[in-house]
Amino acid sequence: MLSQVALELAGRAGMRLAAALGIAVHRGTLLRLALGLPGPVASAAPDVAGVDDFAPRRGHGCATVLVDAATGPAIDVLPGRRLRRGPPRRGPRRGPGR
């Protein structure tokens, strides 16, 4: 049951739902469960895909989740990358119309 909660909500929202169900669990445990679940069986490419970055722990990096926006389930969770530390980049920024 916890793996289903982790897959659908993860993090703090999953922790609150689990508490309402009478299960004490930490949000980090739910995130580890969600990241450890096997990926879905390959199927046709989705018509609309959503991409979101999230940080499993503040300041420790990011992970990316790909979601089939039409049906809702997660397609894949890509392992994270380290956050860039140091001063912000300086120099000319080129944008539209510049």
Question: For residue 45, is pLDDT > 60?
Answer: yes
**Residues 30 and 50 reside in one and the same domain:** no
1 pLDDT band, cuts 50/70/90, is: confident
Question: For residue 20, is pLDDT > 60?
Answer: yes
Question: For residue 88, is pLDDT > 70?
Answer: no
The domain tally of the chain equals 2
For residue 56, being part of any structural domain is answered with yes
This prediction's pTM = 0.40
For residue 29, being part of any structural domain is answered with yes
**Residues 23 and 52 reside in one and the same domain:** no
**Residues 58 and 25 reside in one and the same domain:** no
**Residues 47 and 78 reside in one and the same domain:** yes
Question: For residue 2, is pLDDT > 70?
Answer: yes
**In which order are the strands placed within the sheet that holds 49-54?**
49-54, 62-68, 74-81
With a CB cutoff of 8 Å and minimum separation 6, the contacts of 17 are 5, 9
Q: Given this model, what pLDDT does residue 46 score?
A: 79
Q: Given this model, what pLDDT does residue 67 score?
A: 85
Domain that holds residue 55: 42-84
For residue 13, being part of any structural domain is answered with yes
Closest CA to 76 of 90, 65, 68: 65
